[in-house]
Amino acid sequence: MENDYDKMNISILLQSLSRLKSENIISSAHFKIRLEERKDDLMPDIDGIHKMLMGSDPVAISNQEDEKFEILFNLNEDYDLTLVVSVKITNPEIIISLITCYKRDRKRRVK
């Protein structure tokens, strides 16, 4: 029987991001396509996204379903970067699969 310590949640994800290694971040084919389509002066490249995940504090995290999360990082005063990811626990590390990314108006988060 699975216990609560084996389930990914926002608290575990937040604690794990500071120890995340670049080799534990996987980009899905869909992610690569969307990143290329949405590339502009504000959208970070794949290395920038890795650096954000490993070294920046998210401004918001929401649980989409079991191991799927939406993580928001601030890009500037107008936009956030939204990353939809799947997270697997591989004790003691986590593996993050990047599913999609897009810019989102900061006003949707800040009221």
The pLDDT of 97-101, averaged and rounded, is: 96
Confirm if 18 and 99 have CB atoms less than 8 A apart. no
pLDDT at 90 over 90: no
* Total domains present in the chain: 1
By residue range, what is the domain housing residue 64?
4-108
SS3 59: coil
What's the rounded mean pLDDT across residues 50-71? 95
- pLDDT band of residue 108 (cuts 50, 70, 90) is confident
Residues 6+ apart with CB under 8 A from 81: 43, 44, 49, 52, 72, 73, 74, 75, 101, 102, 103, 104
Domain CATH number, residue 11: 3.30.2310
pTM of the model: 0.89
Per-residue pLDDT, averaged over 52-81, amounts to: 95
Model confidence at 1, in pLDDT bands (50, 70, 90)? very low
- Answer whether 24's CB lies under 8 Å from 94's CB: yes
Percent of the chain topping pLDDT 70 = 95
102 or 66, which is more confident = 102
Judged on CB neighbours under 10 Å (0-12, 13-18, 19+), 54 is: middle
Given a cut of 80, is residue 4 above it in pLDDT?
no
Q: What is the CA radius of gyration of the chain?
A: 14
Q: Which two tokens stand for residue 29?
A: 């084919």
